Amino acid sequence: MYPARIIGTVVCTQKDPSMNSLKMQVVQPVNIFTFEDEGKPAVAIDAVGAGFSELVLVVSGSSGRLTELTKNKPVDATIMAIIDYVDIKGKNVFSANKKET
């Protein structure tokens, strides 16, 4: 499982029928301490209705097929949570409700 920020959407008019109605998002992995980009972007199925620029948790590999939405589907990565806040060593390092200045 890794944190990522949603940076885009993928639309496919032709795809395996089992993938119909599944929303595909482009996710950019981020460092959990600094929230700076880290690694290569990937495409993940959105199982939770996340939106552009939200911070999310992504599962990959066979775990990507373990949500209700992705069960028995040809999926390698799934957005399975939207992050509300992150506390590390008792300090809040991220809050979705915090206004950025």
Instruction: Report domain extents, the chain.
Output: 2-15+22-95
- Per the structure block, which two tokens stand in for 57? 């948790």
pLDDT confidence of residue 62: 83
The predicted-structure confidence for 32-54, as pLDDT tens digits, reads as follows 999 999 999 999 999 999 999 99
Residue 5's pLDDT is 98
Instruction: Report pTM.
Output: 0.88
Q: Please, which residues bridge with residue 22 across strands?
A: none
The amino acid at 51: G
Residue 14: strand, helix, or coil: coil
Residues 94, 61 contacting (CB under 8 angstroms): no
Q: Using an 8 Å Cβ cutoff, are 57 and 79 in contact? A: yes
Q: In Å, what is the CA distance from 42 to each residue of 2, 3, 10, 36, 76?
A: 12, 12, 10, 16, 10
Domain spanning 2-15+22-95: which CATH class is it, in words? Answer: mainly beta
DSSP string, 66-100: -STTTTTSS-SEEEEEE--EEEETTEEEEETTSPP
- pLDDT tens string, the chain, 101 residues long: the values are 999 999 999 999 899 998 888 999 999 999 999 999 999 999 999 999 999 999 999 999 888 888 877 888 889 999 999 999 999 999 999 999 876 54
